[in-house]
Structures are given as structure tokens and as C-alpha cells.
Amino acid sequence: MKPPTRLFIFDADNTLRRTTVPGKPCPHGPGEWELLPGVRERLGAVRWGGEGAWLGVASNQDQVAYGHLTAAMAQRLLADMVRAAVGEIAPAPCIRFCPHALEVPCACRKPAPGMLLEIMAHFGVAPAETLFVGDAPTDAEAARAAGVGFVWAWDFFGWGL
């Protein structure tokens, strides 16, 4: 019998939010993104923290390395996204992002499992109790590499793709 999910980790772009500026792979500032359909309703129904589940975000943000936004702005935009999705009902979400350029090898950029492993260590949650939700093959590969469950964003949020 599989243990209950105690930690939900989400990719950000095209999983929880989408960029509203054509041609940008991720937002570079406030007002350049919106939550995807069903995100607020689905995440608002989860009991977060304490007796419930923990929330994490693992996002590749290579636009930081290319100078399109600062690491502080990337962190702020991800934190704003979590607040928009769940309000204040998710105590202390753990947000990790990879700021490295695509051509620079690193242990954190998905499909590497670095960010997922850091988030699990932060909350002290085992891989068998963790679910990663994403939209890209690199997300699925990162979940496999970290030994955690994976579900496609469209299945989790019911987009029916």
C-alpha cells in the first residue's frame, strides 16, 4: 500500500502559471503572468501544513542567467504565484529554482533531481510520500531521478488534454 502524499512539488511555468507576454518562456516581472485554469480551486481544496501536506515549487529559470530578470525577481514572482494559487493557507512553501544557463551543466536544472531532493530534505519527507506535478518530459525525468511519483499537470488539474 502506497503511503499518503505528504509533499506536493509543482513546476511553475505551464503547470501553475502561464506567461501573458508573447514570446517569453517565463514572466520577467509582475503583471506578465496568470494562473492556469483550475489551479486556485484545486490547490485551495488541499489541507496544507501541519496535519496536511507540504507545498514546494521546483522551476528552471534560466532567464536569470541570461540577464532578463534577477534572482530576487524570479523568487518574488514564484512566491507571488504560490500566494495567488493558495492564499496564505500554505504555510512556508519551499521554493527552489535553477538560475543557470541552459548550456551550463548543473545538478539543479531539471531533468536533474537536485531541486526535488532539496525540497524533500527541507520538509523531511521521503520520496514515497512525494508527488511532482509538471508539464514537460524533463519534469517526468526529474521525478524518476528523485524516486518520486509524477503526474502530468493536465491530469492533476483536469484540463483534459
Provide the pLDDT confidence category of residue 89 given band limits of 50, 70 and 90. Answer: low
Provide the pLDDT confidence category of residue 88 given band limits of 50, 70 and 90. Answer: low
Give pLDDT, residue 3: 75
pLDDT (tens digit per residue) in 26-78: 999 999 999 999 999 999 888 888 788 999 999 999 999 999 999 999 999 99
CA–CA gap between residue 109 and residue 81 (Å, rounded): 20
Say what the pTM is.
0.94
pLDDT (tens digit per residue) in 2-13: 778 999 999 999
Is the pLDDT confidence value at 110 over 90? yes
- Burial class (CB within 10 angstroms; exposed 0-12, middle 13-18, buried 19+) of 19: middle
Mean pLDDT in residue range 114-130: 96
* Domain annotation for the chain: domains and CATH numbers: 19-157 (3.40.50.1000)
CA–CA gap between residue 82 and residue 101 (Å, rounded): 24
Strand pairing category for 33-35 and 17-19: antiparallel
Mean pLDDT (the chain, rounded): 93
Beta strands, E only, the chain: 7-10, 17-19, 33-35, 54-60, 94-98, 130-134, 149-152
What cell was used for 78? 514564484
The identity of residue 140, as a single letter, is: A
Give pLDDT, residue 159: 86
